[in-house]
Amino acid sequence: MTAIAVTIAGSDSGGGAGIQADLKTFSALGVYGASVITALTAQNTRGVTGIHDVPADFIAAQIDAVFSDLAVDAVKIGMLSQVSTIEAVAAGLDRHRAKSVVLDPVMVATSGDRLLNPDAIERLVQLLFPRAVVITPNLPEAAAFLGCPAADGESEMRGQAERLLALGAQAVLIKGGHGGGHESVDLLVGRDSVTRLAAPRIETRNTHGTGCTLSSAVAAGLAKGLPLIEAVREAKAYVSGAIAASGELTIGSGHGPVHHFHQWWKKTARSASE
């Protein structure tokens, strides 16, 4: 059977984040990708200049079209800017008994532009935290949900993740990319376990789409039948490689994208030269 994952997220016209990053990630990891577009953004490496939200009834229509035909193995949820969007997605997940849902609570773009309306935060917590097998906030997002400063160090990261569990999340992958130190440390915190995932911190401006890419890589692993911990480990390794190879690309003049096909473009180049 072909592993299938669907991304429910916003579109990035610059191609580095959102559904574009998700579909690239699915493809790179051997998973067929489908999409439900929740918003259109006018966006590039320098920032977001406009957002056009897709009506909730059309989001529902997309969900019904995809799930009524495709045997979806995993779902990645990204940008949901409006209360009506969140409600439509939650209802669609229930209607089709969606499994292996990964929620990336996108609040702010890499450029600093806000992507989630403040009045939608409470509904996101109420409706989608309990429906996801894991949520993947970065440090600023976790702090925004909890109304506190961003975590400083792994002890505070774990404490905030446990507080997010108390809000209804089944598991929390709290990402340390915004932290300091020589390592970029993420913590996967469940009800009865904590898994530390570390990689060397890479100094680069090319961080556009890293959160989208990590969450969709986790969904890809789940779609292929991996346990959550293994899906997260493989996703971390993939994203680290994509960030490390991002300098091989020359894309835009702002925060460039990671290199989603870093493993495959090199093979293609070698084959062409032989």
Report which residue type is found at 95.
R
- 212 in active site: yes
Contacts of 96 (CB under 8 A, 6+ apart): 63, 64, 67, 68, 72
- 211 in active site: yes
- Residue 155 to residue 136: CA distance in whole angstroms: 17
Which one of 7, 38, 45, 207 is the catalytic residue?
207
Which one of 177, 211, 221, 256 is the catalytic residue?
211
- 236 in active site: no
Which one of 25, 136, 210, 213 is the catalytic residue?
210
- 99 in active site: no
Which one of 24, 76, 175, 236 is the catalytic residue?
175
Which one of 10, 78, 209, 221 is the catalytic residue?
209
User: Rg for the chain (alpha carbons), in Å?
Assistant: 17
- Residue 258 to residue 247: CA distance in whole angstroms: 8
Helical residues (DSSP H) of the chain, grouped into ranges: 18-28, 56-67, 83-95, 121-128, 139-146, 154-166, 210-223, 228-244, 262-273
Contact call for residues 216 and 5 (beta carbons, < 8 A): yes
Which one of 212, 213, 236, 256 is the catalytic residue?
212
- 209 in active site: yes
Between the CA atoms of 221, 226, 232 and 238, what dihedral angle is there, to the nearest 10 degrees? -50
- Tell me, letter by letter, the H, E, C secondary structure of 130-197: CCCCEECCEHHHHHHHHCCCCCCCHHHHHHHHHHHHHCCCCCEEEECCCCCCCEEEEEEECCCCEEEE
- Residue 223 to residue 139: CA distance in whole angstroms: 26
**DSSP secondary structure letter of residue 205:** S
- 148 in active site: no
Tell me the pairing of strands 172-174 and 183-189.
antiparallel
Residue found by looking up tokens 């067929």 in the block: 32
> What amino acid positions are annotated as catalytic residues?
175, 207, 209-212
